[in-house]
Amino acid sequence: MLTMNVHDKIAIDPKIMHGKPVIKDTRIPVYVVLSLLAGGMKEEEIIREYPDLTKKDIAACLEHAAQLAQEEFYALEV
């Protein structure tokens, strides 16, 4: 069950990284963390690469992705 408030850890600001979701108070995009996890990196390895990150930051990235996967999209007819 997802319980973390993702908004405590993820920021979206058009002035930072062109509005892509980032870890708050950093310029580390959520997609970078997700890509590293998908590529097989362990949390500890990611934190070694990006010492500003915490395990809670990484969990927030996963929760953010889970929330996006729950959204419904509809095709517009032309």
The string of pLDDT tens digits covering residues 1-36 is: 445 567 789 999 999 999 999 999 999 999 999 999
Give the pLDDT confidence of 36-75 residue by residue, as tens digits.
999 999 999 999 999 999 999 999 999 999 999 998 878 8
Q: What is the pLDDT of residue 40?
A: 98
* Residue extents of the structural domains in the chain: 6-69
Tokens of 52: 């500003």
From the list 36, 32, 14, 67, the residue with the least C-alpha distance to 23 is 32
Residue found by looking up tokens 């990611």 in the block: 46
User: What CATH number should be reported for the domain whose range is 6-69?
Assistant: 1.10.10.10
Q: What is the pLDDT of residue 4?
A: 54
Q: What is the pLDDT of residue 77?
A: 82
